[in-house]
Amino acid sequence: MNRATSEMPPALVEIEKLRDVPYSEIKALRAYHDGHSPFETKHGVKGAEFENVLVVVGRGWNRYNFGEMLELAGAAAIPAAKQDAFERNRNLFYVVCSRPKKRLAVLFTQTLSPAALDTLKHWFGADKIEPLTF
């Protein structure tokens, strides 16, 4: 930091740093905040509709375990201790899967158990499930 910026109030230093950001990035950020982005979070799409939707599901969140939710959805009964987590996962899964007008693709980046895969086959049809191996 040079002497001139060290004497500036922090808010002005922050604004000064914006001069280094390319204008195209500022425009893209503004478009995103105005709702013009091909990407959204699972929580950010509630109430919205799109022609085509790709949902990427993984195990990165502590509050969500979609693999376990799919296992429980196919079980005869859901344990009382897991009921709240099941409903939270199921509701969010419903939100993301009900957004497309035409096409839906769900990509799981985690290994799913046979029970979870059975639930997906039941919900979407066995012919719609494509396992990927690497």
- DSSP-assigned beta bridge partners for residue 107: 56
Each residue's pLDDT expressed in tens, for the chain with a length of 134 residues:
555 556 889 888 888 888 888 899 888 888 877 777 666 666 667 777 888 889 889 887 778 899 999 999 999 999 999 999 999 999 999 988 998 999 999 999 989 999 999 999 999 999 999 988 77
Same domain (yes/no): 94, 111: yes
Residue 86 lies in a domain: yes
Mapping DSSP to helix (H, G, I), strand (E, B) and coil, where does residue 100 land? strand
> Is the same domain home to 59 and 108?
yes
Q: Are residues 124 and 61 in the same domain?
A: yes
Q: In terms of domains, do 62 and 17 share one?
A: no
- Domain hosting residue 57, numbered range: 38-128
- How far apart are alpha carbons 65 and 62 in whole angstroms? 8
**Does some domain include residue 134?**
no
Same domain? For 76 and 117 the reply is yes
Q: What local confidence, expressed as pLDDT, does residue 6 receive?
A: 66
Q: Do both 8 and 72 map to the same domain?
A: no
28 with 64, same domain? no
Q: pTM for this structure?
A: 0.68
CA 55 – CA 58 distance, rounded (Å): 10
Question: How many distinct structural domains can be found in the chain?
Answer: 2
User: Is 47 found in the same domain as 32?
Assistant: no
Residues 26 and 63 in one domain: no
